Structure 1
Amino acid sequence: MKNLSTIPEPSNDLYQRVLEVRKSSKELCLASDDKRKQALFSMAEALNSRADEIVDANIIDLRKAEDEGINKSLLARLKLDHSKLLVAVEGVRKVAGLQDPIGLSQLNRELDSDLILERCTVPLGVLGVIFEARPDAVIQIASLAIRSGNGAILKGGSEATLTNTAIIKTLQEGLSKTSVKSNALCLLTSREESMAMLRLDGLIDLIIPRGSNELVRFIQDNTSIPVLGHADGICHLYIDSHCDIPQGVRIALDSKTQYSAACNSIETLLLHESIAEQFLKQAIPEFSERGVLLKGDKVSNSFGVATLAEKSDWSTEYLDLILSIKVVSGLEEALEHIDQYGSRHTDAIVTNNLQIAEKFMMSVNSAGVYHNCSTRFADGFRYGFGAEVGISTQTLPPRGPVGLEGLVTYKYFLRGNGHIAADFVSGKKSFIHKDLSL
C-alpha cells in the first residue's frame, strides 16, 4: 500500500475539474487525426497572437523571482522571451506534422477462420504533469497531450504562475476555435492541488514529475497512480586516450556551457590519464573564459584545476557553470565511476577507437549514450519528436525523451463470428496462429 496519510483530500472543485478533463479526453481519443492536427495549429496561432502578453507576464514572474533571490539556473529556466517562445511555437507545429500515434496496428493475427486478433495503439487517458519553473514545458506538454489524444493536468513551479496561466488561457483559446474541448487542458496553481491530485487514482492514468530526486521519490511513495520518473541529470563525458583533443575540448565546452541549467548538460568530465594534462592545458582557458568553476581530483589539480573536488561533487547536479573533473586510468575506471554516480540520463565518450566506443556505449546503462558528440542533443525536439513531456531515466520504456510514442499504450482487439473457447479446449478446433499483414 502506498502512503497517502500526508496527502490532502481533493477538494470538490479539483475533483470536478479533473472529471471534466477525463470526459474531454474520452472524446479526444475518438477525434480524427485531422481534428487533432487542426487543434495544434490553432494553439500555435493563438500563441503567436498573444506572444506579447505571455512575455509580459514572464517579465513580472522573473522580476519577482529575482527579488526573492532564486538561483541562476532556475532563472534561466524561468525566462521565456520572444525568441524562446518562437521556438516553442515551432515545436507545436512540428508535433502537428508528426505521424498519428493512435490506431497503429502492431499485431494482426488470424487465430481461426473469422477470428482475428489485432493490437493497436490507444491514448493513455489523462496525464498529470508536475514540473519546475519552465513555462515552455506547458506548451510542449499540452501539444503532445492533444496530439496523442490525452487530456492533461499541469502544475508548474510557483515562480512561473503568471506565465503558465497566460499560456494555458491562450492554448484553451486556440482549442475553443476547434472541435477539441478547451477543458482537455487544466492548470493547477497551488501545491495543495498538485498533492491532492495524487489521490485521484482512476481519473488520472499517469503522473509525470519533472524535478528533484526528492520530488520524484515523494510522488512515487505517495500515489497509487503509475509514475514516469525523471529526477537528476548527472551526465558524464569521458575523453579517451584515442581522441582528437581539440574536438574533445569543443564537445566538452558545448556539453557544459551551451545551456548549463539543462538536465542534459554534463556535471562530470572524466579524462584518460595519458591525455589529461594536454587536454586541460587547452580546456582550462576556454572554460575560464566562459565563467566555469572547475573542481578536480588531486591529479587534475596538479594539471591546473584550481579547486579540489569533494566526494559529494561526483553526485551533485549543479545545473550551473560548475564542472567536476576526474582523471581515470582508462575505460574500465570511467565505466565504474559512471555506474556508481550516474543518473542513467545521458553519458558520452570522445574517442577515435571504434572498439572502445562500442564497449562504452553497450556498457553504460543510460537512456542516451553518445559517441563524439555533445550531451546537449538529449532533447525531444532535437530527436525530431517535436517536443517532450520529460526525459525518463527508468530502464523500462518509455525511456529518454518522451514524445508521442511514450504517451500511448495499446489494446488487443479480437473479432470473431460466434467463436467459443470450449471448441478449442475439446479439440474440436485448432488454432491457426497465422500472422497477417499489418
Structure 2
Amino acid sequence: MSLTNASPADAAKAAKSASHVLATLSADARNDALTAIHDGLVAARDDIFAANARDLELAAEAVAAGKLSQSLVARLDLAKKGKWDDMLKGILDVRDLEDPVGRVTLRTRLDNGLDLERVSCPIGVLLIIFEARPEVIANIAALAIKSGNAAILKGGKESTESFVAISRAISAALDKTQVPNGAIQLVTTRDVIPELLALDQYIDLAIPRGSSDLVRYIKNNTRIPVLGHADGICFTYLEQSADPAMAAEVIVDSKTNYPAACNSLEGLLVQDAALSTLLPPVAAALAAKGVELRCDPQSKAALKDVPGLNIVDATEADFSTEFLNLTLAVKTVSSLADAVAHINANSSHHTDCILTSSKELAEQFMSAVDSSGVYWNASTRFADGTRYGFGTEVGISTNKIHSRGPVGLEGLMIYKYKLRGHGQVSATYGEGAGRKPYLHQKLPLE
C-alpha cells in the first residue's frame, strides 16, 4: 500500500498499471499478501490503537463543538464491539475463500474447433471514498488483492491518524510480497475528491462508504459507475401471528445492537390486529434498552397503559428517516399489502423484515418487497458480508446491478469472453446457401 500525495491523475495511472500486474498473479501470491497484511497489522497494533485514540480525542472535541455527529464517532472507534478482531479475522477469512479469478461460468461450442468460454476477471481499479471506519482500509485491501483489483482509498479527515498508521503497516507488509505497492494506494492529499471523480479513464468503479450526503455527492458528480447505498432505512413488519417473545427479541436486536449501523431498524410497521397483543411487550422490551418510540395515534393509544415508555408523537417524516440512534418510528398498517407498499415507497431498499408464523405471508413479503435483503423472523443486523460468509465486505449496495446487498469478492468480479479457434472467420457462418450453421452446443464447465 502506497501512502501518496501524488496528483490524483498520477495516483490513478499508477493504480491502473498495478492492476494489470495484480490481475495476472497466482492465487498463492495473492493469498500470501493477505497473510503478510494480517501479520503486519497484528505487529503494529499498539501504534494503530494509539493513532485511533488521537482521532477519537479530536472527534470528541468536534462533537462538542457541533461539527461532527456522534454516530460518526461510533464508527471511528476500532476498539468498539470487537471491531479490531473482526477486521483481522476478516482478512484471513477472505484469504481462505475460493479464488474468484478465472472461474469458467459458461462454455459453448460454436462449431467444431471454435469454443467460447465466459471467465471471471477483476473489474480493474476501485476508488473507495470513506468517512470514519478506519477498518475499511484493511477490508478493502484484502478484498481488492484477493479479487485481483487495484484500489485507491481516500479517507475523511476525522480518521487521518488511524488510516495512516494502518496504511504504513500494510505497505510494509506488501513490500515482502509479489503484489505491487501501487496496487493499494491511500491518497493523503486534501480536497482532491472532485479530481478523483473525474478520472473515469483510469478508475472503473467508485465505492462510497459514509453518510448519505457523501454518497449522494459522489453519485451526482462522477461518470464512474458507483456502488453503494445512500441510507439505511430498514423496516420490520410485525404481523399478528408472530410469536411475542421472538418478535421482541428480534426487534430489540435490530434496533439496539448497533444503532449507528446502516442495517439497524428505523421503522416498525404493526398490523392493526397486533396492536393490543404484540406491540405492548415489544415496546416494553425496547424501553428497557432506552429506545424512544415515535408513534402514530393508533400505536400510541395501544401503549397508553404500558409503564416506563418514552413516546413521542410521530410526524410523517419520521416514517422515512434514518435516525442512527435509539429512536424508532412505529406506524400502524392494516395488512401485508399496506406494509409492502409503505416499505417500497419509504425504505432505502437495504434490508427489510417480516415477523410472522405464516410461511405463505413471509414468502409473499419477501417476493414483493423491493430491497437487497428481505428477511423472515430474523434481525436486520444480519445484513453484513462477514455474517453472510463473504469474509468481509467492500460495502452494501442497493443498486439494481449485479451486486446487491453486502458486496464481497463476487461483487468485485466481472467477466470476459474467451474464444479459441483455428482461423475461422465470421463470414463463413449464418443462414443461406454456402454458410455453416452454428452448433451452439453447451459444454460442461470443467
* Residue 401 of structure 1: aligned partner: 406
Q: What secondary structure, in the 3-state scheme, does the structure 1 residue paired with 2:278 have?
A: helix
Partner of 2:438: 431
Cα distance in 2 for partners of 1:250, 1:311 equals 27
* Alpha-carbon distance, 1:98 to partner: 0.5
State how 1:315-334 maps to structure 2 within 5 Å.
315-334=320-339
Match of 1:79 among 53, 77, 93: 77
Q: Conserved in 2, the CA contact under 8 Å of 1:109 and 1:434?
A: yes
- Deviation, structure 1 residue 328: 1.3
CA distance 1:210–1:427, change in 2 (3 Å): farther
Which residue of structure 2 lines up, in the alignment, with residue 335 of structure 1? 340
What is the RMSD computed on CA atoms of the aligned residues? 1.5
Q: Percent sequence identity over matched residues?
A: 45
User: Contact (CA 8 Å) 1:92, 1:386: kept in 2 or not?
Assistant: yes
Q: Deviations over 1:212-254 (max 9, x none)?
A: 3333333222212111131101000111011101100000000
* Conserved? CA contact 1:211–1:230, under 8 Å: no
Q: Spell out the pairing of 1:359-438 with structure 2 (5 A cutoff).
A: 359-425=364-430, 427-438=434-445
- Offset of residue 12 of structure 1: 6.4
* SS at 2:424 equivalent: coil
Q: Residue 414 of structure 2: SS of its match in structure 1?
A: strand
The code of the aligned residue for 2:273 comes to S
Q: Is the 8 A contact 1:205 1:225 kept in 2?
A: yes
- Superposition deviation, residue 277 in structure 1: 2.6
User: C-alpha offsets along residues 113-147 of structure 1, whole Å, 9 cap, x if unaligned?
Assistant: 21111110110110001122111111111110010
Q: For 1:83-122, what aligned pairs fall within 5 Å after superposition? A: 83-122=82-121
Provide the residue aligned with 1:161 in structure 2: 160
- Equivalents in 2 of 1:121, 1:308: separation in Å? 52
Match of 2:48 in 1: 54
Spell out the pairing of 1:116-195 with structure 2 (5 A cutoff): 116-190=115-189, 192-195=191-194
Please give the per-residue CA displacement for 1:256-287, whole angstroms capped at 9, x wherever unaligned.
Answer: 00111100001001111122233232123322
Contact 1:147 1:404 in 2 (8 A): yes
| Aligned equivalents of 2:97, 2:287: Cα separation in 1 | 42
CA distance in 2, matches of 1:237, 1:220: 28
Stretches of 4+ aligned residues off by more than 4 angstroms: none
Question: Which range moves more in the overlay, 117-126 or 75-84?
Answer: 75-84
Partner of 2:219: 220
One-letter amino acid of the structure 2 residue matched with residue 435 of structure 1: K
Question: In structure 2, the residue corresponding to 1:152 is in which secondary structure?
Answer: strand
Q: How does 1:257-336 map to 2 (within 5 A)?
A: 257-304=256-303, 306-336=311-341
8 Å Cα contact 1:134/1:157 also seen in 2? no
Superposed CA deviations along residues 5-52 of structure 1, whole A, max 9, x for unmatched, are xxxxxx963222222121111100000011101111110001111111
Is 2:356 the counterpart of 1:351? yes
1:29 aligns with 2:34: no
Q: How many residues align?
A: 428
User: Any idea what SS the aligned residue of 2:399 has?
Assistant: coil
CA contact (8 A) 1:51 1:85 kept: no
* Structure 1 unmatched runs, 5+: 1-10
CA distance in 2 between counterparts of 1:99 and 1:188 reads 30
TM-score (structure 1 length as normaliser): 0.95
Q: What's the TM-score once normalised by structure 2's chain length?
A: 0.93
CA distance in 1, matches of 2:235, 2:56: 31
Cα pair 2:132 2:210 within 8 Å, conserved? no
